[in-house]
Every structure is written in C-alpha cells, then in structure tokens.
Amino acid sequence: MSSSYLPATTDSIAQALEAKTPSEAISILYQVLENPSSAPDALRIKEQAITNLSDLLRQENRAEELRSLLTQLRPFFALIPKAKTAKIVRGIIDDIAKIPGTSDLQISLCKEVVQWTRAEKRTFLRQRVEAKLAALLMENKEYSEALNLLSGLIKEVRRLDDKLLLVDIDLLESKLHFSLRNLPKAKASLTAARTAANAIYVPPAQQGNIDLQSGILHAEEKDYKTAYSYFFEAFEAFNALEDPRAVFSLKYMLLCKIMVSQADDVAGIISSKAGLQYVGPELDAMKAVADAHAKRSLKLFEVALRDFKAQLEEDPIVHRHLSSLYDTLLEQNLCRLIEPFSRVEIAHIAELIELPVDHVEKKLSQMILDKKFAGTLDQGAGCLVIFDDPKTDAIYPATLETISNIGKVVDSLYVRSAKIMA
C-alpha cells in the first residue's frame, strides 16, 4: 500500500471511478482504505472501496493481490459487524474463484481463513468457508480430505440446526459420494438435503442444484424418464436465472432422450424457443450423437466422439453413459446388418461393421443370450444362423391357467371337507 492516504468520502470513490486506467483506480482505492478514520460514514465508504477494489483486481486477474487484500483487511474487520465481515470475505473468495487457474490458491486461502476464523471465534463464517473448502477439495479430486472435513462439519451444523447451510453441505456430500461411486450414500445425502430444503425457503438456484443432482443419480440407475423430468426442472430454474448451468441441464435432458431411444425428439427440443438460446458446441455434440443413434451408425457415433471430445468424453456425467450408449449402438448396428440374412459369415459382418472378428463374435453371442434376437453361432463354420421369430403358441398359457384353476377348486373342496369332518 502507499504511505499516504485519501479521505474516505464519496468524492474519493468517484475519483477512482473516473481514473483513466485500472491501475490508477486500484491505487486510489488502496489509499482510501489506508485512511485511519473509524467513523460510521468512513467505514461505509471503505466497504464500498473494498467491493470496487476486489472487482478491479478480479478483472485484472491479480489473484495474489486479492489474497493479500484479505490479510490486510483483518484490522478493519474488527471495526465492522460480523455479518458484513462474512459478506466481504466470501465475496473476495468468490472473486478469486472467477480467475482461471487459481484452484490451489483458493484452497490455501480457505485454509488460512479457517484458521483465522477459529482464532477469532467466528463460527458462522468458518462453517461457510469450510463448506467452500470441501467443494474445492472435491474439484481437485482430494476426496478423502474433503470427506473428513464434511463429516465433522455436518455434525456441527446439525447441532446448530442451520437448515440453509445443511442443504448446501448435504448436497455437496451427495456429489462427493457420487464421485467415489458410492450410490447408496449419495442418494441418502440427497434425501437429507431434500428433507432440510422442505423445511425452509430454498433459493431457485439451490433448488435447481438439487434437481440436477437428482437427475444425475436417477440416470446412473438407468431410470432415464425420471432423470429427464428432474433435468427439466433444473433447466427451468437455471434458465429463469440465466445461469450458465442451464445448458448442461439441457444437455443431460437430450442425453436421456437418446438413452431411451427417442433420438428423434432431440432436434425438436434444440429448435424450441428455450433450446435456441443455448445453441453451441454442447448441444451440437448431443445432436451428432442423436443422429448417429437414429441412423444406428457406429461410424457416425465414433466421428461425434472425435469431433466433440471435450463435450462428450471430458464431461464426467455424459462419459459415464457413453459405454452403455456405444453398446446400444453396436447392438442396433449389428441387428441392422443381420436383418437380410438367415445365415451369414461372422467375418462378413465384421468387415461390414469395421470391427475385429473376435469382438463381433463375442457381442453376437451376448445378444443371443440376452434374447435380442433368435439365433445361434456355428463356430465350426464361422457362421451366424438367424432363426425366424418364434410364434407364441397359445396352448401353453391356456394349459397353465386351467391347471391353476383346478388347483383353486381342489383347495376349496379341501377346506369344505375339513369343515364337514370337524
């Protein structure tokens, strides 16, 4: 900071706003913060200066200076209410989060702030910074440390019955267990978050988060219809708030449509009024997959994977369903190829589909066992024999029904005879 200071007045704030360069404005605001006055008006002006300064530092990508600012402001925090301190601290941490490539810096800063809040006995702020720290650790794939932090935090917050924070923490725990592939615990934590949310007013963005996580868990259980409805609710919430997460909710809606073999609906959803707002690589990727699915073309699917690698394979949610989708497309492609034949060489099918013979043979045997079509593999001749669809003979169900009815009659006669004998 500079050795001189400026008066903490609205004129000083206006002077910073009128500065020709961001560096000049930042220098003026630092000088305002150096003013030793602790009068109520001066404190209010300093709060405004802090907000403006953190915005400028964020725009200039000066993350280290934001961190230093938080440390330098500690004497000032002793002069203002704890609620305002919490707002400023969380605001600066959020500003650092908006600067790319600051993940490690955010984690170390949060740990530093947690130590300070413990020393100052600022429980309200500490709990929220610890929740933020747990989220950062999860993003950094430090799952065990994040889980240990959350376990202690949940017990403490439940004891204090802070429902709004409890919703955040339970939802975060659900995401953490999902990342660890522990679905039962992920569902239990999500249920706890919903229970806490039902007792209070939850902001629309947080409700959208809950619905998004619900959709992800239902999709993981292959219940794509229910998942679609949750993704739709999340999309509506985020769309109303113009939240960037809306496009991901829409993307997962399209994924659900593809997974239930309703790929034809994808183009309609994208061209709808809501869908047109989010046209871009994310939706183009899903449209390419839907086209491949509709045409039962494995080649088009592989082209989509190659062209939209960032949107498909690098998205952890979509990536989980890609292998299942690949299997579905492979099965549909094989079914399309064997449709005209009653007997065909496996090598010929492998040549048509451009895959290794052993891979195709293994898949065909699996499809026969799963009763995807009626047939058998003649491995001696290297051929696939396809049977005609067997017609259901009505005599067997009728016979079973007759035997069942006779059983009921015998049971009824037994009961009557027992009464007579008695």
Residue that wins the pLDDT comparison between 336 and 132: 132
Which amino acid makes up residue 373? F
| Residue 323 pLDDT exceeds 90 | no
Distinct helix (H) and strand (E) counts, the chain? 23, 3
Distance, in Å, from the CA atom of 288 to the CA atom of 285, rounded to the nearest integer, reads 5
Q: Label residue 174 by pLDDT band (50, 70, 90).
A: very high
- Share above pLDDT 70 across residues of the chain, in percent, rounded to a whole number: 98
Question: pLDDT per residue over 1-58, tens digit each?
Answer: 444 778 888 888 888 888 888 889 989 888 888 888 888 888 899 999 999 999 999 9
Burial of 124-134, coded b for 16+ CB within 10 Å and e otherwise, reads ebbbbbbbbbb
| Residue 181 pLDDT exceeds 90 | no
Q: Are strands 375-378 and 383-386 parallel, antiparallel or unpaired?
A: antiparallel
376 forms bridges with which residues in the sheet? 385
Residues 192, 194, 200: CA angle, nearest 5 degrees: 110
Residues 236, 305, 235: CA angle, nearest 5 degrees: 5
The pLDDT of 337-361, averaged and rounded, is: 83
Distance, in Å, from the CA atom of 15 to the CA atom of 30, rounded to the nearest integer, reads 12
Q: Which pLDDT belongs to residue 322?
A: 78
The pLDDT of 288-293, averaged and rounded, is: 86
- The DSSP result for 52-66, as a single string, is HHHHHHHHTT-HHHH
Q: Which pLDDT belongs to residue 391?
A: 66
Out of 6-15, 218-227, 324-333, least confident range: 324-333
User: Helix or strand or coil: residue 378?
Assistant: strand
Q: Label residue 231 by pLDDT band (50, 70, 90).
A: very high
Distance, in Å, from the CA atom of 79 to the CA atom of 422, rounded to the nearest integer, reads 94
Q: Which pLDDT belongs to residue 3?
A: 47
Which amino acid makes up residue 143? Y
Q: What phi and psi values does residue 388 have, to the nearest 5 degrees?
A: -70, 150
Q: Which pLDDT belongs to residue 309?
A: 85
- Share above pLDDT 90 across residues of the chain, in percent, rounded to a whole number: 31
Give the rounded distance of the alpha carbon of 291 from its chain centre.
24
* Nearest of 88, 72, 78, 90 to residue 120 by alpha carbon: 78
For residue 119, give both structure tokens: 């020393």
| Residue 392 pLDDT exceeds 80 | no
The pLDDT of 179-195, averaged and rounded, is: 92
Distance, in Å, from the CA atom of 389 to the CA atom of 379, rounded to the nearest integer, reads 22
The pLDDT of 365-375, averaged and rounded, is: 82
User: Helix or strand or coil: residue 182?
Assistant: coil
Residues in the chain, how many? 422
Question: pLDDT per residue over 112-166, tens digit each?
Answer: 999 999 999 999 899 999 999 999 999 888 988 998 999 889 888 888 888 889 9
What are the structural domain ranges in the chain? 1-100
Q: Is the dihedral of CA 165, 166, 168, 172 positive or negative?
A: positive
User: Dihedral, CA atoms, 303, 307, 308, 309, nearest 10 degrees?
Assistant: 90
- Give pTM, 2 decimals: 0.75
